[in-house]
A = this chain, B = another copy of it.
Amino acid sequence: MSFALLAACNSVPKAVGSIDLTSPDGANRMTFILTEAGGPMYSLDHKDISVLEPGVLGFELRGTVKYQGLVYKGDKIEKPDEVPPYMFTEGFEIIGTETASSDETWEPVWGEESSIRNHYNELLVKLRHKADGKLMDIRFRCFNDGLGFRYEFPDGQPLVHFVIKEEMTEFNCAQDNTAWWIPGDYDSQEYQYACTTLTGIPAEFKKHTNQYNSSTTLYSTSCVQTSLQMKTPEGLYVNIHEAALVDYSCMHLVADGKKLRAHLTPDAQGWKGRLETPCVTPWRTVQVAESAEEQLASRLVLNLNEPCALEDVSWIHPVKYMGVWWEMIAGAGNWHYTDAASVKLDDFDYSTATPNGRHSANNDNVRKYIDFAAGNGFDALLVEGWNIGWEEWANCNKDYVFDFVTPYPDFDIDALNGYAHSKGIRLVMHHETSSSVRNYERHMEEAYTLMNRYGYDAVKSGYVGDILPIGEHHYGQWMNNHYLYAVTEAAKHHIMVNAHEAVRPTGLCRTYPNLIGNESAMGTEYQAFGGIAPGHTAILPFTRLNGGPMDYTPGIFEQNLKEWCGNDSHVNSTICGQLALYVTMYSPLQMAADTPEHYSRFMDAFQFIRDVAIDWSESRYLYAEPQDYLVIARKDKNSDSWFLGGVTDEQTRTFSVALDFLEEGRNYEATIYKDAPDADCYENPQAYAIEKSVVSLQDKLELTMVPGGGFAVSFKAL
């Protein structure tokens, strides 16, 4: 958008000047505008299409509270008056600009490809608030796949400590885009996705909330979470998210018509962030792609994170694991060892307590899992419910809920680790914090040290229930600080972290690659909590996975939970639909979540889980449409094998997949796992066919997926 065009537009404040920043390929153009009132704004075009109309940049800051001790109004004590909030959205002048370009290629420790290109043009606009000399810079980076910008507050200026009332950033969508969204929430990300226009969000909001999120903190029927995937009427794929969320509150988006406004997670007092100069905000990202497949290939969020901060990464590695987990989730077993209503860790004597007989993390059961995992080429076994305290945990307001070091009497931590190690398996530690976060931090050093002692090198942590102290939220600055603390402390112990219920990832795994996984979305467990509609795994790679890998815990082979353990929920996926996820849901941490018994009945299908790689040198996004379908091919980082996966929603879909990604002049043994023609995820989910053939890059595979189904193919180089 040119300055002339802008000035002609009535709905936009009159600008006194503008600066353009284009992407290296020239396709994306960001225009920075300073309005006559000194308000910084920006717009974004892709070729001749307006993606974002001019939108506000800046903050509403808390007015300084004068610490005047007391205020009496008559004889009544009142809180000291707040000085009115301070608008940091206008009154600025430009005191300088800087431009730069960068084109570098970096190698992730693990990832969807072995090297990533980071190529952008940069503009730094230095602003001075005329009235008081306070300084705020805005740094823009324009990539071929979109725009990133952040606020920077330089050192040595009148602004030192400040409190954010709200970030005023607007994403002023040019059109009433189609959006795939989940409700904004300060404490849960575990929702199924809605698909509406931006203006249609409020009308559909209620329908897309759910009853599972006990600590749900919704606040507006027009507020949604990022990463928000959209599609413009022109067919552009536009995604809004953030990158490098460090010491700041997580951003939500409030839809005001087709305009989206930032909405940060508040603290217990309603404030949005407490900052000190010099500091920077997370990057606000606007990815733009001409196709869904291009959007999936974007690494903009990772590129906007800092390079790896760890000197030694030799101890970090992808993990394929099983878990003593699904049987508890489904209800066939328990985490807790006794049925005592109240357990005080310092006083309760587990050695004389009556076991409830349903404790899954017992020696015999764990050995059974170790045997199966070891026999099938797995690296690791997660065991939940191994430590005392599970009798009462989330939402009990209980501070000292776990100690993270004391096993239940029937879990011999020494013997089980010894047994596992003798078979080439590592146990994966589990630290459910029950959101009693201070308690976790108090025990963290000892807990990590215990892991080192017994040879655990990965921990699944959890944050179920209301944050203690009550009033803080899962996605506020206070907690975001904690999650990163847990990761950096873990790194000192050479421990990899997979944090559940933590804030959605924003690419921090580039900087801290020991953060090998997060949940931060509705995962497989909800198949046992009422079921998940097909299509969910076809939207997650656009949204949740945009910021980093998810521990989705795929691989459920027994969909009929009722028959197994009386659970009325049904797993809405075919076996092949589950196999596909190991390719389509990228993660360096992949679980085979079902039980040895269930896998034993389908060992031919299970072979794919044994074979599939978990680290990649190359990824190809062949067919994709959000929430509809995905077909993705990836090349193993450690061999010449390729793997192909496809998932679909409720529709039967057939794709003709050209194998032109294979190496020229080479033959491959293809093993094709596909839904039987009469399969479907509800009535006949276990019907599949396995075919083998020799193929090369000239070949095509015709692959059909039934409703809730999928396919998986391994290509072994001959």
Say whether B398 contacts A278, CB under 8 Å.
no
Please, which residues of chain B bring their CB within 8 A of the CB of A219? 77
Asked whether A392 and B161 contact (CB < 8 A) given A344-B276, A438-B438, the answer is: yes
CB distance from A69 to the nearest CB of B (A): 5
Per the 8 Å Cβ criterion, residues 373-419 of A in contact with B are: 392, 395-399
Say whether A75 contacts B163, CB under 8 Å.
no
Cβ 8 A contact of A209, one of B70, B277, B278: B70
Q: Does A214 contact B (CB under 8 A)?
A: yes
CB distance from A304 to the nearest CB of B (A): 21
Q: Does A342 contact B (CB under 8 A)?
A: yes
Please, which residues of chain B bring their CB within 8 A of the CB of A471? 267-269, 469, 471
Say whether B161 contacts A398, CB under 8 Å.
yes
Please, which residues of chain B bring their CB within 8 A of the CB of A210? 69
Asked whether A392 and B160 contact (CB < 8 A) given A269-B471, A344-B278, A469-B478, the answer is: yes
Say whether B218 contacts A77, CB under 8 Å.
yes
Say whether B72 contacts A399, CB under 8 Å.
no
The complex places the Cα of A160 from the Cα of B395 at a distance, in Å, of 13
Q: Does A560 contact B (CB under 8 A)?
A: no
- Copies of this chain per assembly: 2
Please, which residues of chain B bring their CB within 8 A of the CB of A278? 342, 344
Count of A residues near B, CB < 8 Å?
Answer: 57
A77 nearest CB neighbor, chain B only: B218
Q: Does A564 contact B (CB under 8 A)?
A: no
A471 nearest CB neighbor, chain B only: B268
The complex places the Cα of A50 from the Cα of B624 at a distance, in Å, of 84
Cβ 8 A contact of A341, one of B67, B156, B485: B156
The complex places the Cα of A215 from the Cα of B79 at a distance, in Å, of 10
Per the 8 Å Cβ criterion, residues 536-561 of A in contact with B are: none
Per the 8 Å Cβ criterion, residues 192-227 of A in contact with B are: 202, 205-206, 209-216, 218-221
CB distance from A37 to the nearest CB of B (A): 29
Asked whether A72 and B206 contact (CB < 8 A) given A392-B161, A470-B269, A481-B399, the answer is: yes
Q: Does A441 contact B (CB under 8 A)?
A: yes
CB distance from A650 to the nearest CB of B (A): 26
Cβ 8 A contact of A268, one of B67, B163, B469: B469
Per the 8 Å Cβ criterion, residues 439-485 of A in contact with B are: 441-442, 445, 469-472, 478, 481, 485
Please, which residues of chain B bring their CB within 8 A of the CB of A220? 77
Say whether B268 contacts A161, CB under 8 Å.
no
Asked whether A277 and B161 contact (CB < 8 A) given A213-B69, A471-B268, the answer is: no
Please, which residues of chain B bring their CB within 8 A of the CB of A478? 469
Q: Does A155 contact B (CB under 8 A)?
A: yes
A482 nearest CB neighbor, chain B only: B438
A209 nearest CB neighbor, chain B only: B70
Q: Please list 20 pairs of residues, one from A and one from B, whose beta carbons are closer than 8 Å in the complex, sorted by A's number.
A: A69-B209, A70-B216, A72-B206, A77-B220, A161-B342, A161-B397, A267-B469, A268-B470, A268-B471, A274-B397, A274-B398, A274-B399, A276-B398, A277-B342, A399-B481, A438-B438, A441-B441, A445-B445, A469-B469, A469-B472
A399-B481, A438-B441 known, 5 other contacts, Cβ within 8 Å: A69-B213, A72-B206, A76-B221, A77-B220, A276-B398
Closest 9 CB pairs of A and B: A274-B397, A67-B214, A268-B471, A268-B268, A69-B211, A161-B396, A77-B218, A160-B342, A69-B216
